[in-house]
Amino acid sequence: MAKQLRVVEAGKVEVEEAAELSPASGEVIVEVRRCGVCGSDLHWFKGHGPLPPVCPGHEISGIVSSVGRDVATIREGDRVAVEPLVRCGSCEPCRRGDYHLCAMLNLHGITLPGGMASSISAPAYCLFPLPEGIDFELGALTEPLAVTVHAARLGGVGPGSRVLILGAGTVGLLTACAARHLGAEFVAITARHPQQKAMAESLGCNQVLDPGDFHQVQCEPSVVIETVGGNAPTLGDAMMAVQKGGNIVVVGLFEQSPEINPMLLILKELRISGSMVYNRSGGVADFHTALDILSARADDLTGLISHRFPLEQAQAAFDTAADKHSGAVKVLISPNEN
């Protein structure tokens, strides 16, 4: 029997029966093996945002179980990560690779049925084959890692960059990996919880700071990447910490407009960029770069996965992910085992 997760209300999810899927032309059916609980999922779970009207989950890995007509790039049995963006493919942003800015954009797990289900139907262009050595658990990290690759690129991270990351949730920790991959020579991060600090150190961050001690970073950052959001003062912190003429990239989802100092913005001539998921800049998909990083650092990144639950225990999975005192870093749900 096919199953999927249903959002009942803030703080409550339940498993229900789902229809069996068959692929339309250009589509494939993916049997979901792992789906991550994202920080953005926790916003609605905690009552801080609108509830998704569909099955949630956008950090998806699985195996292709059925292929529709006119699909030549994917075969049954392929192990894949799912880039959960469905777009028109013909507008100007889509044509230049900025499909994440498509006016017709839909996202699996937010506006389209997501991966906390037995299976998912998606266009073939959304699928990225998993390299050898990348299992389904690591494959589920492809999506959040692509988010951080995109943010680091927007910030101009490259050889010689000095990067400060505000926040050490999954996205903050993966940002450290993305920054290193792009050539950063110094990476500092702020972390609140013991498991986050330990993970940051294991990933090779040069400095791990308490959230209020960002000003004690050992060098003046050329790039600050904000991953906290909520009601945190981190955008103002970023403006104080970054060097003159530096770049700030905002990834965290703020629940209200954060305070900024316009005079500091002008006097330091800062550039602040919002970062919206991922794209295919210069012909290279952020998902491809994320898979390269996973291949290079598989052993390190496996340690990010702190908890694993079957779909039937999805309520416990969300409760665990929402409580950092549980020791949670990345929580995965397994709709299908193996």
Distance, in Å, from the CA atom of 286 to the CA atom of 269, rounded to the nearest integer, reads: 28
- The pTM (predicted TM-score) of the whole model is 0.96
Query: Does 338 score more than 80 pLDDT?
Result: no
Tell me what the mean pLDDT of segment 250-263 comes to. Answer: 92
pLDDT at 36: 98
Burial classification of residue 135, based on how many CB atoms lie within 10 Å of its CB (0-12 exposed, 13-18 middle, 19 or more buried): middle
Question: CB–CB of 62/31 below 8 Å?
Answer: yes
Q: Is 27 helix (H, G, I), strand (E, B) or coil?
A: strand
Query: Does 173 score more than 80 pLDDT?
Result: yes
pLDDT range class, residue 259, cuts 50, 70, 90: confident
Domain 3-141+304-334: give its CATH code. 3.90.180.10
pLDDT range class, residue 84, cuts 50, 70, 90: very high
Distance, in Å, from the CA atom of 179 to the CA atom of 69, rounded to the nearest integer, reads: 40
Domain boundaries, the chain: 3-141+304-334, 147-274
- First vs last Cα of the chain: how many Å apart? 17
Query: Does 324 score more than 90 pLDDT?
Result: no
**147-274 shares the fold of 3-141+304-334:** no
Strand partners, 312: none
The CATH class that applies to domain 147-274 reads alpha beta
Query: Does 131 score more than 90 pLDDT?
Result: yes
Query: Does 283 score more than 90 pLDDT?
Result: no
Distance, in Å, from the CA atom of 235 to the CA atom of 179, rounded to the nearest integer, reads: 19
